[in-house]
Chains A and B, each alone.
Chain A
């Protein structure tokens, strides 16, 4: 009975999004046939419910407490929110409530950027991921960033601001494409901040051509009342690398879902993350890595720190196709619980169809080590400072490999701020 109630509430929400689409349909940019198809999928399948295996640990029911409106334009003052975005001395593309803001953005010198409508690309699966269908139906804007063959485009910062419109919750569904040509290079820094209640449902497609290297550093520091449901698809060709690190701090309910496909030999994917959640936050980091070609390597170090009544989720699936011989897969998922009321759910999944592979995975959930704490205190470090040192040490393995010093410093500052807030 309760399961049926849950799904009916979620389906009422799906219905509300569909109705909103009917109203906006004529005004939305781009190919309406693509949107109609997505609407059709959503009408049939609805929003993901807890009975689906992929959504077992993350229940979207809290979404149904709100009615989500389309953003108003223009939103005037973004200075305060922008001040929360670290200055990385690199060109910025700023989106406010999912809409590109030319007046707040810079044009990168070495990459082509197209904005003004959603760039759908070919990697996304609205028929498989229901939130991607929702995004496809309602997406208004997004950035298409292309780096030409052999070009090192340096660093570009993609900023998302979610605004508070005095009780009027908005939903926005930006759609981005990042495409690196052969042997191209780019560091893309994703920074998302906001205030109040909103739904941020971005879909990003990443194409890494042969020999290209994308470093993708994400700071999700959104409003503590926000819903943040992101989906990213990456396709990495031969000798290409997609090196990503996600720092998740914000959101009342968040899910970062990544589908990475190693499609050519000797390709590399790193999907590292640190989630730091407090009070009643729910954070879900879900990844699917598909090894479709031989000699590829994937690495995942995912660390979760939970305080209060926070709940953390990690789902990590590694699929190794029959052709993907000499696959080297590593997955480590560790959680540190700072409170007895916090909870971690971890689901590693290996599906291996090749016979000559090296795949390892591990998961641990624990508290701060009493011996380590006493050792530090016996040296004169006060208890609270010692705890902070040990949490930072726990995260070190995930943070340390970040080569971009300015981003690393910004992340460390955000982590320190989080730790300060947890102090009793």
Chain B
């Protein structure tokens, strides 16, 4: 599904990713952990096409297609989804309009029939119920006046409606209390299946108690320095990043 080879990227003159190799097969959930400044968020932004990053070397393919050459909207229509660490507020854009515009834009790009307003509302309400979100969040402006937890839930709602093949969750656990964390994790887990992959980026092991990954990778100074099973996350939790970083050096 996702194949990254020798990926190097920088912001301005500053090299952030220094040769990432990573394969996320279809149906698997991988976690990327690492200390602050290791390049976790940069990896998610480079994969989703955020302007401002320069790819210096390497490739990233999604279902065999070169991701790095595509516009962000093309990547999205192909089935890539980024849950933002800091979801963006859109004053003046209603949440329902936003979600339906996004869904139909993707459907149009894929040559699928678009959803009319009633069918969309039915879908959105069902997904919101599953995420314990009140109906009025559809009427509100996107993320405006939302609490931290509501914003993250809104990201998961978008994922549930857009049904991506690969979701990148960028520190979706940050700022969540334990109840919200469970709701968000349930939302991600409900998408899991043979056709859904995820890259879960997190600083803390806590989220991985609820979204149990198939593989865990440790990112440090722009490189993956260790990969392993879910037990690697527990080891990190117990010993901290310093021990693994020192060992790899």
> What is the interface of chain A, defined by CB distance below 8 A to chain B?
370-372, 374-383, 385-386, 389-390, 392-397
Contact = CB atoms under 8 A, between A and B. Distances in A.
A389 to B, nearest CB: 6
Contacts of A376: 90, 98, 102
B90 A372 contact: yes
A393 B105 contact: no
Nearest to A374: B50
Given A381-B73, A382-B105, A375 B92 contact: no
Nearest to B77: A380
Of listed B48, B50, B81, residue having the most chain A CB within 10 A = B50
B84 interface: yes
A375 B90 contact: yes
B30 to A, nearest CB: 20
Nearest to B106: A380
B49 interface: yes
B91 A374 contact: no
Chain A at the B interface: SS class:
helix
Of listed A376, A378, A381, A386, residue having the most chain B CB within 10 A = A378
Contacts of B91: 393, 396-397
B23 interface: no
Given A374-B50, A385-B105, A380 B76 contact: yes
B76 A393 contact: no
Contact of B73 (A383, A392, A396): A383
A301 to B, nearest CB: 12
B134 interface: no
29 contacts: A372-B89, A374-B72, A374-B88, A376-B98, A376-B102, A378-B48, A378-B50, A378-B72, A378-B73, A378-B75, A378-B81, A378-B84, A379-B105, A379-B158, A379-B162, A380-B77, A380-B109, A381-B102, A381-B105, A382-B109, A383-B71, A383-B73, A385-B105, A389-B98, A390-B93, A393-B90, A393-B91, A393-B93, A396-B93
Of listed B72, B87, B102, B105, residue having the most chain A CB within 10 A = B72
Nearest to B76: A380
Given A374-B72, A389-B93, A380 B102 contact: yes
A379 B49 CA distance: 11
B216 interface: no
Contacts of A375: 84, 87-88, 90
Contacts of A372: 88-90
B128 to A, nearest CB: 17
Given A379-B98, A379-B106, 8 more contacts: A372-B90, A378-B72, A378-B84, A379-B76, A382-B105, A382-B109, A385-B105, A392-B92
Contact of B92 (A370, A380, A397): A397
Contacts of B36: none
A380 B50 contact: no
A381 B101 CA distance: 7
A389 B71 contact: no
Given A378-B82, A395-B92, A385 B101 contact: yes
B90 A382 contact: no
A371 B85 CA distance: 13
Interface in B61-97: 71-73, 75-77, 81-82, 84, 87-93
B113 interface: no
A393 B144 CA distance: 12
B157 to A, nearest CB: 12
Nearest to B143: A375
Contacts of A396: 91-93
Contacts of A371: 88
B93 to A, nearest CB: 5
A377 B73 contact: yes
Nearest to B50: A374
A377 B81 CA distance: 11
Of listed A375, A380, A385, A386, residue having the most chain B CB within 10 A = A380
A382 B51 CA distance: 14
A394 B92 contact: yes
Contacts of A392: 92
Contacts of B92: 392-397
B51 A370 contact: yes
A381 B158 CA distance: 13
Contacts of B101: 381, 385, 389
A394 B92 CA distance: 6
A378 B50 CA distance: 8
A417 to B, nearest CB: 19
Contacts of B72: 374, 377-378
A56 B205 CA distance: 62
